[in-house]
Chain A
């Protein structure tokens, strides 16, 4: 504050400020109220290490001890690497290996850092220096010259005059990023319509409902009331695109008391004796919805607490999801196994742009 007087340019700060200032303050400095008496710098106070050679000796000892400690830390980390090797198949060994190498390295780095800072603060020359703050605005001459340079460059290059050259250059710059943008198309599956892929799963008429992960088909008689089965479509485990398909086709199979189910017209034959199958993919952002409460028949998504009511065809009763979970129509084949009647009748999972 004491040095603001030296920057004596005519200033914008004085006329824009509500506080009346008697002198010019440079732009970029705070407004100075005239009624505040500048107390000046506090008197320089010498450090104990400057006054007492014993203390200085002590500080010196502390600094080199910290540096030696750092060396010890590095050696400790090296020793730990050899003493606690990561053995194949022994997961617990990773814990000790990481712990001791980490402790050694941390000690090594902290020793250097703390020692250097303590050295600087307690022992290096204790001289206070002041750097003046310069005004941000250049002089009028500099500003005029800058504008002049721009004009000169325009004249000499003919940028404003030769418009054909200028416009073709702008055109070239616009065209350059286009191939990059088009390359993003490569992220989507080739030769296939992404909308089509998002709209269908591998469920089809007659595919059996099988257990995740074993792929054992499930009989209707296996599913007792209160049960929940995690289901994948028959043949999923043999697919090369297993994960892509599972991400769409995962199903949760539950059996409720048939009297508890409210079934809307058109869905009468989608369930079998209280056994219902719903997509496990949340309609909000696609987390697996699988927290089923067998007494309240609530189905909770762990990510954002969307709650679906299984008795009411999985309508949303809480949370950010906007659509009910899609139901997989099921029936029983001649051998008593549960099979799909068709694919889901709507796209599973979260919304996407082209979803109708």
Chain B
């Protein structure tokens, strides 16, 4: 009796699921509609005064403490003279800026601004101190020559970022980050502007086509399985040795114990 009445008082067991589904569809659909309309207009408005004004407000509230009200820099942060839009889009778009604290290097973290806000900041900084612009979409399609990109990557990038883009250690707590899962725009901007301790690879060193080829190579190795089997993080002898010593030697020891044990 008690069980039945309790059951009757409750909603249909699927009610929660349906409710969640409706909620997701409404919010997701609403967001999609909203963001698609804003990106559609962003292209045309990118350099409009309204966007620059928006960027200026964001800069004054979030960046000026360290970089100065007129980008002149302070004791806590460098001047932003000549940095341009690409640098801002990289630093803010990957969450490295605003920095959480001073340290060996600014860490990648969840972004603090939406794409529109980031572009507004970039437009504002570029309007005051022109520099390398955000790269053209046509160079970011990963449709170049992966073999050429691989050769250029091994010569110019692999010593820090690892031949498979797995990243690596530098001096005094700094490190070159992993390159898998990084947007093509951000890879391009990093090469162009040399964020933090990364050197600059300007268009005379690596032409825009070279940069496109490097992105093609990185996306190729990211999207194609390694022919040699499971990569173990592509970290080389440390990971592979650890696996071999623990599991390979462990299996051998286990077999030896079984081999010499008396049958019962």
Q: Which residues of A contact B (CB under 8 A)?
A: 47-49, 91-92, 94-95, 98-99, 117, 121-122, 126, 211-213, 218-219, 222-230, 254, 288, 290-296, 298, 300, 302, 305, 307, 318
- Asked if B224 is an interface residue, CB under 8 A from chain A, the answer is yes
**Cα–Cα, bound, A288→B199 (Å):** 17
Report the nearest B residue to A211, measured CB to CB. Answer: B205
Majority SS of interface residues in chain A?
A: mixed
From B41-49, B167-175, B180-188, give the one contacting chain A. B167-175
- B199 touching A226 by the CB < 8 A rule? yes
Majority SS of interface residues in chain B?
A: loop
- Asked if B159 is an interface residue, CB under 8 A from chain A, the answer is yes
- A227 touching B202 by the CB < 8 A rule? yes
- Contact partners of A95 in chain B: CB under 8 A: 225-229
Q: A291-B159, A294-B198 are in contact. Are A222 and B171 (CB under 8 A)?
A: no
- B259 touching A117 by the CB < 8 A rule? yes
CB distance from A311 to the nearest CB of B (A): 14
- A295 touching B197 by the CB < 8 A rule? yes
CB distance from B166 to the nearest CB of A (A): 13
**Cα–Cα, bound, A300→B226 (Å):** 29
- B170 touching A291 by the CB < 8 A rule? yes
**Cα–Cα, bound, A294→B229 (Å):** 36
Report the nearest B residue to A307, measured CB to CB. Answer: B171
**Cα–Cα, bound, A49→B204 (Å):** 80
CB distance from A292 to the nearest CB of B (A): 5
Contact of A290 among B159, B200, B259, B264 (CB under 8 A): B159
- Contact partners of A99 in chain B: CB under 8 A: 229
CB distance from A89 to the nearest CB of B (A): 12
- A213 touching B197 by the CB < 8 A rule? no
CB distance from A51 to the nearest CB of B (A): 10
- Asked if B201 is an interface residue, CB under 8 A from chain A, the answer is yes
CB distance from A281 to the nearest CB of B (A): 13
| Interface residues as binary, B18-34 with A (CB distance below 8 Å gives 1, 0 otherwise) | 00000000000000000
- B151 touching A300 by the CB < 8 A rule? no
CB distance from B41 to the nearest CB of A (A): 35
19 A-B pairs (CB sep. < 8 Å): A47-B264, A95-B228, A98-B229, A117-B258, A222-B202, A224-B202, A227-B202, A228-B200, A228-B201, A229-B205, A230-B156, A254-B199, A290-B159, A293-B197, A294-B198, A294-B200, A296-B174, A298-B170, A307-B171
Contact of B160 among A91, A126, A291 (CB under 8 A): A291
The B145-178 residues at the A interface (CB cut-off 8 A) are 151-152, 155-156, 159-160, 168, 170-172, 174, 176
Q: A48-B264, A49-B263 are in contact. Are A227 and B200 (CB under 8 A)?
A: yes
- Contact partners of A226 in chain B: CB under 8 A: 194, 199-200
**Cα–Cα, bound, A48→B263 (Å):** 8
